[in-house]
């Protein structure tokens, strides 16, 4: 008898604890799994993705002692060669700044995170305290610095990889190859943590969108397209506007598999930004796996180039509160370690008491 798949294991052991969207203090984040893009010599467009199953760390008592149990902490099992990207688009895009962390390193600047503060770079290199050359170029660093270390409007609230000096990013992907772990090579393995972190900031004075640029529902839409297998896929959803960008968020979908999509029609073009259509499941015989080896740590590599620019935040650092109002932390591990965590400590179901502070008291 073959070893059960991870999906079946989750359904059997911890189905009640799984969530797709992480939350803390009213802020939300999603880790999306995507195809690992091939290196072609040309940058790719933003890849599609589907939310990865995650678990509140409070539901898994068997997690390593060093993992923080704070509110907003989660755990997820992953597999090698998954591409991935972060989405925070479910937050108020005009009034949210997000500082991303990958294994203790900022993926935009390559710097080790020694605190949670927003930074912008205009005149001097933050490492060498010397004036920039043309376009924020530092001769001693040998690369052009980004405008900032965080993501905020007018950028869309998502991020796909490690930023290169030319402004493109190289796709995040999980790997067992420790030699490809970017954070270990840049900030030192002793400084890394097997987790992603997202610190959320709110502005000192919230921005109120002009009436004609607010998030306005524009009614239902429907569309039919063909999947890679040739079958038709139909979907319905709602359209809304954000500035000059018209975004379509799909809802119910029929076809080979579920799809959630967001399409950008800026500049008269319609570009699918995050549509995922998983291949139809095939009937396969599960082969018996080899005896499990010692759990390996997860490395996060830099893959193919993706066209994703970082536009300077016009609000400026001083326009944001200096301290984050929420932090979401996501620990990750390969399937074998995740099973060991569940088997060791079981799954603690978070009990929601309907009466809240009146629970156990005589009411009615």
Q: What is the pLDDT of residues 164-185, one digit of tens each?
A: 877 789 999 999 999 999 999 9
Measured CA angle at 53 (ends 49, 57), to 5 deg: 135
pLDDT, tens digit, for every residue of 90-131?
A: 999 999 999 999 999 999 999 898 889 999 998 888 888 888
In this prediction, what percent of the chain has a pLDDT beyond 90? 55
12: left (phi over 0), alpha (psi -120 to 50) or beta: alpha
Radius of gyration of the chain (CA): 22
What's the CA gap between 76 and 322, in Å, rounded? 30
More confident residue, 261 or 19: 19
Q: Among all chains, which residue has been given the structure tokens 């079946």?
A: 8
Q: Furthest-apart CA pair in the chain: how many Å?
A: 73
More confident residue, 352 or 299: 299
The pLDDT-based confidence of 256 (bands split at 50, 70, 90) is very low
What's the CA gap between 313 and 152, in Å, rounded? 6
Could you state, in order of their start, the residue ranges of all structural domains in the chain? Answer: 6-208+294-356, 211-272
Return the pLDDT at 144.
84
Residue 362 pLDDT more than 50? yes
Return the pLDDT at 358.
63
Residues 221, 238 contacting (CB under 8 angstroms): yes
110: left (phi over 0), alpha (psi -120 to 50) or beta: left
pLDDT, tens digit, for every residue of 297-327?
A: 899 999 999 999 899 999 999 999 999 999 9
Task: Please state which of the ranges 72-76, 209-213, 285-289 shows the lowest mean pLDDT.
Answer: 285-289
Measured CA to CA in angstroms, residue 52 lies from 85, 209, 290, 355 at distances of 10, 32, 26, 32
More confident residue, 292 or 273: 292
């Amino acid at each position: 008898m073959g070893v059960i798949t991870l999906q079946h294991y989750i359904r059997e052991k911890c189905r009640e604890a799984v969530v797709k969207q992480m939350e803390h203090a009213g802020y939300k984040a999603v880790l999306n799994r995507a195809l690992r893009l091939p290196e072609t010599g040309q940058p790719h467009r933003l890849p599609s993705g589907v939310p990865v199953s995650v678990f509140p760390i409070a539901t898994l008592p068997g997690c390593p002692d060093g993992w923080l149990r704070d509110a907003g902490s989660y755990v997820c099992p992953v597999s090698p060669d998954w591409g991935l990207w972060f989405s925070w688009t479910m937050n108020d895009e005009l009034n949210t700044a997000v500082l991303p962390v990958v294994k203790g390193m900022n993926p935009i600047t390559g710097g080790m995170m020694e605190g949670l503060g927003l930074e912008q770079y205009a005149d001097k290199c933050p490492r060498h305290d010397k004036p920039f050359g043309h376009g924020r170029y530092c001769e001693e660093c040998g690369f052009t610095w980004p405008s900032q270390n965080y993501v905020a409007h007018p950028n869309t609230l998502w991020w796909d990889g490690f930023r290169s000096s030319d402004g493109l990013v190289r796709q995040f992907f999980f790997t067992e190859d420790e030699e490809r772990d970017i954070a270990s090579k840049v900030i030192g393995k002793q400084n890394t943590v097997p987790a992603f972190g997202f610190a959320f900031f709110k502005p000192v004075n919230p921005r109120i969108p002009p009436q004609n640029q607010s998030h306005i529902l524009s009614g239902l839409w429907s569309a039919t397209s063909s999947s890679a297998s040739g079958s038709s896929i139909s979907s319905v959803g709602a359209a809304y506007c954000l500035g000059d960008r018209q975004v379509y968020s799909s809802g119910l979908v029929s076809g080979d598999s579920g799809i959630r999509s967001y399409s950008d029609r800026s500049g008269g073009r319609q570009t699918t930004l995050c549509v995922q259509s998983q291949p139809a499941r095939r009937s396969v015989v599960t082969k018996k796996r080899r005896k499990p080896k010692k759990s390996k740590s997860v490395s996060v590599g830099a893959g193919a180039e993706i066209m994703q620019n970082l536009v300077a935040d016009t609000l400026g650092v001083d326009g944001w509160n200096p301290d984050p109002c929420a932090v979401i932390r996501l620990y990750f591990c390969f399937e074998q370690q995740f099973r060991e965590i569940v088997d060791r400590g079981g799954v603690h179901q978070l009990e929601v008491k309907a009466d809240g502070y009146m629970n156990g008291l005589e009411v009615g």
